[in-house]
Amino acid sequence: MRAFVFPGQGSQAVGMGAALAEASSHARAVFQEVDEALGQNLFRLMTDGPADDLTLTENAQPAIMANAIATLRVLEQEGGVRLSEKADFVAGHSLGEYTALCAAGAIDLATTARLLKLRGRAMQAAVPVGTGGMAALLGATIEQAEAIAAAAAEGEICTVANDNAPGQVVISGNAGAIERAAGLVKEHGVKRAMPLPVSAPFHCPLMQPAADAMEAALAEARIDAPFVPVFANVTAAPVTASDTIRRLLVEQVTGIVRWRESVLAMHAAGVTRFVELGGKVLVPMIKRITPDVDSISVVSMDEIEALLQKI
């Protein structure tokens, strides 16, 4: 069995998509459709920068999605690969869940782009800059991270945001609580806390204003049943019902990204090969979670051609 997975924020880089667009009209069509849906030249920002503007959450989220869907379109249109025939499951990390839903036919490309633009703006606006923070707890188990977050909270918000892989758990919350958590790692047997260069404390209760904005937007968006089950971040379980997808996307804004559990659940369901489209951030995590499975990242035309030989 095979799962196609899609990266989250942090996988953006100036130059992304340029070679793919030069090589394929199908990739160019994806970038053009996203530009038209957003009313901005996002593709030019992706290819030429500046990096600071591309890193803005409202730009990075639709850009990462567009790059992944362009990669998929090349596979489908030029390689003859049909996701409905080749994938048993799809999943994505945080914003990548929207990409997975788009790939599986639940949300059309233009709607996905607009939802992610709004999601990025709403997440950035939810908390004043400097109020919140995030940190990766290196060498921590999920249980250790939860204990550190609980001890550091002291009446503020401090929760686990991302359970990425063994030894890589991210916490999120008020800046003071994150700083206190960093001072507690040694006594909890954790190697160290690494502050993350993020503009807001994602995936924690401080994001509730963004969750409210997404609830309103998703209520108006057309969401169909995906033709491949999508593993949801907040449940680490497959979902196919449209109303459930809507609800879980809202919960995802403030909830934990249960990536480690999602990969383990897909593996337990029989997945023996993971294919990451549009990035190279998930495969290293997958190799740490399930070292016995085959996993491959696909970004360039050469990598697409290599995948076509194996799929």
CB contact burial 78-90 (16+ within 10 A = b; e otherwise): beebebeebbbbb
Rg of the chain over Cα atoms, rounded to whole angstroms, equals 19
Residue 274's DSSP bridge partners are 3, 295
Asked if 200 and 124 count as a contact pair (C-beta separation under 8 A), the reply is: yes
**Residue type at position 279:** G
Q: 25 an active-site residue?
A: no
Q: 203 an active-site residue?
A: yes
Q: Where are the strands (E) in 93-242, listed by range?
A: 132-138, 158-165, 168-174, 192-195, 230-232, 237-239
> Cα(83)–Cα(229) distance, rounded to whole angstroms?
11
User: Could you say which DSSP state residue 257 is in?
Assistant: B
Q: Indicate the helix (H) or strand (E) that contains 294.
A: strand 294-298
Question: Nearest Cα to 79, choosing from 262, 284, 277?
Answer: 277
Asked if 229 and 2 count as a contact pair (C-beta separation under 8 A), the reply is: no
Q: Indicate the helix (H) or strand (E) that contains 32.
A: helix 25-38
Active-site residue among 11, 94, 262, 297? 94
Active-site residue among 203, 262, 295, 297? 203
Would you please indicate which residues are annotated as catalytic (active-site) residues?
A: 94, 203
